Structure 1
Amino acid sequence: MLNSVIIIDDDSISILVTETMMRKNDFAKQIITFEQPQKALDFFKTEYSWDQGAPEYIFLDVEMPEIDAWEFMDSYKQIDPSIQKRKHIILLSATFNPDDETKARTHPMVMELITKPVNGHILERLK
C-alpha cells in the first residue's frame, strides 16, 4: 500500500470513481482530492509536508477548464524543482488524444496516460 496519492480532476464523479477504486484495492493510506487544480497548487505551496517527499502518484486530469494538466505541471515543478526528476504523474483522459499521448511520452514527470475510468488492474500494476 502506498503512503499518499493525489487526485486532481474537475469532474466530481470521476474523482469519486477513482477514489472508490483506490480504497477498494487498498491502493494508498491517504488519498487527497481536488476539483480545482489551483487549489492543489496552493495546497502544495502552503500545506503539503515536503519533508516526506512528493506524493507517490498524482492522478491528473488532462483537460480541465481553468488549468490543464500541462499548465499544472509547469506550475507544480516550480514549487520544488527536484520533483521534476521523478516520473510520478499519471495523466487521466476521458478520450484518446494522440497529441497528449506524444507529450506524455516525453514529459519528465509523466509516468503514463490512462483513459478513464481507472480500474483495479491499472492500480495493481502501479502498486
Structure 2
Amino acid sequence: MPNELKKIMLIDDNEIDLKINARIITLTKLFEEIIICQSGEESLDYLNKHMDNPEKLPNFILLDIQMPEMDGFDYLDHYKQLPATFTGSCPVAMLSSTLDFGDIKKAEANVYVVKLLKKPLMPMELAELINKKAP
C-alpha cells in the first residue's frame, strides 16, 4: 500500500491547522497530492462528485473531530453510506487537539478509523501509521 498512496484528504475547519498539517504531509513525501476540505460537507461533496473517477479520490483521510455543523463523528455517519469499494480502500485517521477518553473510545470503535492522532500531526507518527496500513 505505501507505494499506492497518492492522495490524502485533510478535513479541518481551522485554516492554520490545515496549513501546518499540509506542510507536515508535504515534508513526509508520503503523498503526491493533498486534497484540502474545510468542512465535512465540502469533503462529502468532493467524494460524491468524483466517486466515478478513482483518479480523483483520496487513498487516505485525516479528519478533525471538532468542527462546527458536522463534527468528525457525524462525518463518519455519512462516510459509511459511500460505496464500500471506496470506504474499504480509504482508511480514516482522526485528528484532535484534545485526547478526550470518550473520543478515543468512540474513534477506536469506528470500523473506518485506523487511529486517533493528537494535533499537531507528527511526521513520524503519520509515516508509521501509513506503513502499518500496508496489506
Please give the TM-score of this superposition, normalised by the length of structure 1: 0.89
Q: Deviations over 1:67-125 (max 9, x none)?
A: 01111111122121344445711000011110110111111000000110112211221
Shift of 1:36: 1.6
Shift of 1:56: 2.2
**Correspondence 1:75 to 2:75:** no
Alignment map for 1:1-127 (pairs within 5 Å): 2-52=5-55, 55-85=58-88, 88-125=91-128, 126-127=130-131
Q: Provide the rounded CA distance (Å) in 2 between the counterparts of 1:53 and 1:88.
A: 16
Q: Provide the rounded CA distance (Å) in 1 between the counterparts of 2:27 and 2:44.
A: 27
Q: Provide the rounded CA distance (Å) in 2 between the counterparts of 1:87 and 1:3.
A: 11
Shift of 1:48: 4.6
Shift of 1:49: 4.7
Supply the AA of the counterpart residue of 2:40. P
CA contact (8 A) 2:13 2:67 kept: yes
Q: 1:11 to 1:53 in 2, by over 3 A?
A: closer
Q: Provide the rounded CA distance (Å) in 1 between the counterparts of 2:31 and 2:89.
A: 19
Secondary structure of 1:65's aligned partner: coil
Q: Provide the rounded CA distance (Å) in 1 between the counterparts of 2:99 and 2:12.
A: 16
Identify the structure with the greater strand proportion.
1
Supply the AA of the counterpart residue of 1:115. K
Gaps of at least 5 residues in structure 1 are: none
Secondary structure of 1:78's aligned partner: coil
Gaps of at least 5 residues in structure 2 are: none
Q: 1:48 to 1:20 in 2, by over 3 A?
A: farther
Q: Which runs of 4 or more aligned residues in structure 1 lie more than 2 Å from their structure 2 counterparts after TM superposition?
A: 47-56, 81-87
